[in-house]
Amino acid sequence: MLQYETHRDSLTGTEWIETRMRGKELLTTHLLNKGTAFTYKERCELGLLGKLPAKIETLEEQVTRAYQQFTQYKNDLQKHIFLNNLHDKNEILFYKLVTTHIVETLPIIYTPVVGRAVQAFSHQFRQPRGIYISYPDRDKMELILENRTHPELSVIVVTDGERVLGIGDQGVGGIDICIAKLMLYTMCAGINPYHTLPIVLDVGTNNTQLLDDPLYLGWRHRRIVGQAYDQFIEQFVRTIQRRMPNTFLHWEDFGRDNARRLLERYQNDLCTFNDDMQGTAVVAVAAILTAMARMRTQLSEQRVVIFGAGTAGVGIADRLVDSLKRQGLTEPEAINQVWLVDKAGLLTTDMNDLLPFQRRFARIDGKGQGLEQVVQEVRPTILIGCSAVGGAFTENIVRLMAFYASRPIILPLSNPNAQSEAIPSDLLSWTNNKALIATGSPFEGNVAQCNNAFSFPGIGLGLMAARAKRLTDNMLWVACQALSQCAATEMDAPLLPPLTMAREVAIKIATALIEEAKREGLAQIDPKLSTLEALQSIVWEPYYREIRPHPKGR
């Protein structure tokens, strides 16, 4: 049984919590623990007298101390572990700290540092979080999901850990990415953390280093594939639909072959989203729209080369085609503006190992052409990297592009930094400072980061506030526009807003999305509720609510 209940005064909006817990139990429950901020009254009523030093602190004073402790760590992984420990001990303090110091803490919680945490998962493991559903336990899936801490859910982030960031198969360690994404939903969009759930579907791993590691914590088995895998996913989705209807399902870091297939299979059945495909595409297209506005030109006049035709690359290509069609191009005309290059070179119709979602972009001519040759032939105005091949945008390629394009738009999106297709300082020097750049990983200097933190929190917030039946192309398009409008207008300013604006961006995207959901008849909220009221009804803030003993005692 849940050990606490949240109440809200309908007139004043004041919230308080009633609990049956007492003493130490409260100090070790991250959702209720206030540490030194428990008031004298609470200390008396909740069995906490003498369990804390005398001074009663404010949340702000606690943040000052926690920030001091955070800055004492010199190593980013240690900082990540410190923040996660705080998250496990006092959730309100954690969210107040990370939102107050968002620029410093976001890359530690999320990319790029979370990648290292995922790799170190089994060695650095301290405390479980979320739900682990391993394949051998599939017949107990309902029971496992009933064991979640929060009965009422708004959002689930689920992974099978097959393709994490640019670091490949990480098995059960992928749960750390789900935890990080949910932290960002709360940090950037104010999603109530008590309504979130990270889930890893542990279907094994093909990473031999993990399989050979005696400390590996996941199911020690090669990945299950084919029908067995599909049935397991089907069972999972239907269980969520049955037991937790209206929960928004965010797919994260599935393998290239599964990511697209699963989204296509379920996107018309429930409100669902794949961040690697759709979130990435929204940020990349928004950055491009900003560049178009500054250069006073149209997307339809651009030629786009995308290097790396996987989940992110084809996701961006699809969104570009959708945007081009909105500018009046026919589908074949739109597709004709985009060239995709993968390991075997330009995608062409005579390649017989193309994945179904790549076929749309296969060209009749150009067999075997590598990136440099494609750049030479196509003379792109936009070059995007989603290959995880560090340094792939060589000096030759970039100079060639700059020879033809007056302001080349270059987005090396691969993560982590070592895998970036180019570094911004090189791109600027090779193009005489003409390149308009946005990177996947954070780099020094005044360069936009195509961080999905700018897209998925706002998209999720809008869908949850509207209780939308599903996510549509129109909604993704309004999200691209809303994000682009948040960027500065000066020619050489970064193509995306700074991270300090993450919350503002999320609200702007969510507002546009709710309105679009209403327009399309997909919102399931009271039609009398204004967009602002819909947002206000779900946005959560990190502050301490009064905790009272439950009237019925323990």
- Residues carrying an active site annotation: 110, 181
Considering only residues 285, 413, 423, 496, which one is a binding residue for ligand NAD as defined by CB under 6 A? Answer: 413
In the complex, minimum distance from the CB of residue 225 to ligand NAD, in angstroms, rounded to a whole number:
16
- Is 369 a binder of ligand NAD (CB under 6 A)? no
Nearest to ligand NAD of 447, 517 (CB atom): 447
Decide if 100 contacts 541 (C-beta within 8 A): no
Could you tell me where the beta strands, DSSP code E, fall in 432-471? 436-439, 448-449
Whose structure tokens read 């606490």? 4
Least distance from ligand NAD to the Cβ atom of residue 129, Å: 23
The amino acid occupying position 345 is G
Q: Exactly one of 116, 163, 319, 469 binds ligand NAD (CB under 6 A); which one? A: 163
User: What SS3 state is found at 311?
Assistant: helix
Within 405-530, residue ranges assigned H as helices are 424-430, 456-466, 473-485, 502-519
Binding letters toward ligand NAD, positions 270-309, x by CB under 6 A: ------x---x--x-----------------------xxx
Shortest reach from residue 455's CB to ligand NAD, in Å? 8
Cβ proximity to ligand NAD, 84 vs 414, nearer residue: 414
Buried b (16+ CB within 10 A) or exposed e, 504-537: ebbbbbbbbbbbbbbeeebbebeeebebeebbee
> Measured from the CB of residue 439, what is the shortest distance to ligand NAD in angstroms?
7
What token pair was written down for 110? Answer: 């999320």
* Least distance between ligand NAD and beta carbon 420 (Å): 8
Provide the β-strand partners of residue 159. 200
> What is the DSSP secondary-structure string of 145-211?
HHT-S-SS-SEEEEE--SS-TTS---GGGGHHHHHHHHHHHHHHH---GGGEEEEEEE-----HHHH
Minimum Å distance from CB 372 to ligand NAD? 12
Q: Which of 414, 431, 511, 531 binds ligand NAD (CB under 6 A)?
A: 414
Cα–Cα distances (Å) from 147 to 131, 151, 246, 531, 553, in that order, read 8, 9, 19, 34, 24
Return the residue matching tokens 């509720």: 529
- Report d(CA 212, CA 125) in Å as an integer: 17
Are 211 and 220 in contact by the 8 Å Cβ rule? The answer is: yes
Q: Cβ of residue 233: shortest distance to ligand NAD, in angstroms?
A: 18
Comparing CA positions, the residue from 551, 538, 544 lying closest to residue 510 is 538
Candidates 256, 260, 294, 319; binder of ligand NAD (CB under 6 A) is 256
User: Cβ closer to ligand NAD: 174 or 440?
Assistant: 440
Contact status, residue 496 vs residue 450, Cβ threshold 8 Å: yes
Site size toward ligand NAD (CB under 6 A) is 29
Residues between 302 and 341 with contacts to ligand NAD, criterion CB under 6 A? 307-313, 341
∠ CA 469-245-509, nearest 5°, is 40
Whose Cβ is closer to ligand NAD: residue 163's or residue 469's? 163
Which stretch, 48-56, 163-171, 186-194, 233-241, contacts ligand NAD (CB under 6 A)?
163-171
Interaction pattern, residues 112-141, with ligand NAD; x per rule: CB under 6 A: ------------------------------
Binding of residue 258 to ligand NAD (CB under 6 A):
no
Check if the beta carbon of residue 419 is closer than 8 Å to that of residue 444. no
| 415 scored as a contact of ligand NAD (CB under 6 A) | yes
Between 42 and 252, CB nearer to ligand NAD: 252
**What is the smallest separation between the CB atom of 180 and ligand NAD, expressed in angstroms?**
13
Interface positions, 417-436, toward ligand NAD (CB under 6 A): 419
Query: In the complex with ligand NAD, which residue's Cβ is closer, 47 or 391?
Result: 391
Q: Tell me the two tokens of residue 421.
A: 């297709």
Q: Indicate the residue among 389 and 465 with the shorter CB distance to ligand NAD.
A: 389
Instruction: Name the residue among 295, 249, 241 with its Cα closest to residue 273.
Output: 249
**Alpha-carbon gap, residue 392 to 166, rounded angstroms:** 14
Q: Which is nearer to ligand NAD, 450 or 459 (CB)?
A: 450
Window 370-409: contact mask with ligand NAD (x via CB under 6 A): ----------------xxxx--------------------
What residue ranges bind ligand NAD (CB under 6 A)? 163, 165-166, 256, 276, 280, 283, 307-313, 341-343, 386-389, 413-415, 419, 440, 450-452
